[in-house]
Structure 1
Amino acid sequence: MQSQKFVVDAMLGKLARWLRILGYDTAYSNSFEDWKILRIASEENRIILTRDRGLCSRARKKGLECFYVLPGLKIEEVLAKLALKYHIDLSIIDPNFSRCSVCNGVLKKINDNYWECTKCHKKYWKGSHWRTIENTLIRARTLLKSDEPKQRPVNYSQ
């Protein structure tokens, strides 16, 4: 499993699923209110990912790490930016190191072709969707390589 842990606001459910696929412990619920996100980040040492400038500003005032996700970005663009800032590994597509995209539970190998969530018992396998996942990660890695020298810090807390 990956070392960074995240808490994601209600506007970024798709991003939460992607981070879980990549093996990152990602707390997410579409019912999390701002105070709950701040508490989870503080108590569990998680990085906040949000599209809410106010939440990001409050998090930073409390000394919490927060990443503001610009609206309108494609998932591969967001993943590339996270990889640049937090060293997210975009090469992992191994279900043995993934988490359940639904509940964040750890996946356990059942046999060569199937995995099961240890928490909600959802079953996973490498179906046709696997190619879509791989292609999205390839695009994110390509963006990361092309963006690295041009990347400049941006202050979104204003």
Structure 2
Amino acid sequence: MIEVQCQCHGRLNELLPPSRRHRPFTHRLKQVMSLQQLLIPLRVPHPEVDLALINGDSVPLSRNIRNGDRIHLYPDTGDLDDPSLVLLRARPLQRPRFILDVHLGRLARRLRLLGLDTWYRNHMDDRPIIRLARLQGRTILTRDRGLLQQPEVTHGYYMRATSPDRQLHEFLARFEPWPWLNPFSRCSRCNGLIERLPESEVRRRVPPRLYLEFRDFFRCSCCDQIYWQGSHYERLRRYIDRLGV
């Protein structure tokens, strides 16, 4: 039996049961395993850990756990500028792009509303999500810790909140995507870019009552959904204003 002492820091405590938060706790292993393997029973996804200290030394995820090890896990390195530190999280992606699992459809629509490149399908299994995330350079957002604990996952985040509005506030606080926000630039249905509907197509595609009431019409460049700035747009605009965007 291998016995180690662990402590999580910062927002990693949100992933632990209350009895293990903000304090050292003992964890027992039946066999030798790597630090990355240890994170699975701790229920801490490795993409959320940026620094691990074992007995005071910065170590990689591949480091094997030994009896008596004292393990500290950190979500961020903060302002530390030490070349000897082994940073565990993959380098940040150049542009924030996301892929959401089947549990986060309502959050996906909100992110698209803000203009963020957000891939979502309500029938995708874990393996296709992981492949697409790696192929297109997307961060996985999920309510499934098991998905993030797959070894191929490099960028991911476990959403703590359960309601869509709380999830959106959590997302904005965690990722701070302010320079990339462009409300109403993406289709909430399919993630395609919104473009102005050419005047030559307006009369043919827009019902007469709408044509008489509104001047500007738009369409999705992918699914061809038509949009206009009616009462629904005004409600969404007020919602975005409340977010401070």
Query: Where on the TM-score scale, by shorter chain, does this alignment land: which range?
Result: 0.7 to 0.9
The 8 Å contact of residues 80 and 141 in structure 1, kept in 2 or not, is answered as no
Task: State the distance in 2 between where 1:24 and 1:101 align.
Answer: 10
| 1:124 matched residue in structure 2 | 227
- Which residue does 2:135 correspond to in 1? 43
| 8 Å contact from structure 1 (residues 5, 26) kept in 2 | yes
More helix by share: 1
Displaced runs of 4 or more, over 4 A? none
What secondary structure sits across from 1:135 in the alignment?
Answer: helix
Q: Provide the TM-score with structure 1 as the length reference.
A: 0.74
**More displaced 10-residue stretch of structure 1: 123-132 or 84-93:** 84-93
Q: Does 1:12 find its partner at 2:99?
A: no
Q: Which amino acid aligns with 1:10?
A: V
Q: Any residues of structure 2 matched to 1:82-101 within 5 Å, and which? A: 82-89=171-178, 92-93=182-183, 95=184, 98-101=185-188
Q: 1:116/1:6 Cα in 2 relative to 1: closer, same or farther (>3 Å)?
A: same
Alignment of 1:20-99 (within 5 A): 20-58=112-150, 61-75=151-165, 77-89=166-178, 92-93=182-183, 95=184, 98-99=185-186
Larger radius of gyration: 2
For the pair 1:104 / 2:104, whether they are aligned, the reply is no
| Cα displacement (A) at 1:44 | 0.6
- Deviation per CA, 1:63-108, whole angstroms, max 9, x where unpaired? 5211111243342x22222222222239743x3xx11111111110
Considering only aligned residues, what root-mean-square deviation do their CA atoms show, in Å? 2.2
% identity of equivalent residues: 34
Count of residue correspondences: 134
1:138 is displaced (CA, Å) by 3.9
One-letter amino acid of the structure 1 residue matched with residue 100 of structure 2: V
Output the CA distance in 2 between the equivalents of 1:42 and 1:91: 23
Whole-angstrom CA distance in 1 between matches of 2:240 and 2:148: 27
- 2-structure distance, mates of 1:136, 1:57: 34
> Per chain length, whose mean CA-contact separation is higher, i.e. which structure has more relative contact order (CA < 8 Å, sep 6+)?
1
Residue ranges of structure 1 left out of the alignment (5+ in a row): 143-158
Alpha-carbon distance change, 126 to 139 in structure 1, aligned in 2, over 3 angstroms? same
Letter in 2 for 1:86: F
- Name whichever of 62-71 and 84-93 sits farther off: 84-93
Could you state the TM-score of these two structures normalised by the residue count of structure 2?
0.49
Distance 1:37 1:139 in 2: 32
Q: Which residue type is aligned with residue 24 of structure 1? A: L
Partner SS, residue 149 of structure 2: helix
Contact 2:101 2:121 in 1 (8 A): yes
Structure 2 CA distance for partners of 1:136 and 1:91, relative to 1, 3 Å: farther
What is the alpha-carbon distance in structure 2 between the residues aligned to residue 16 and residue 74 of structure 1? 9
Distance 1:122 1:15, change over 3 A: same
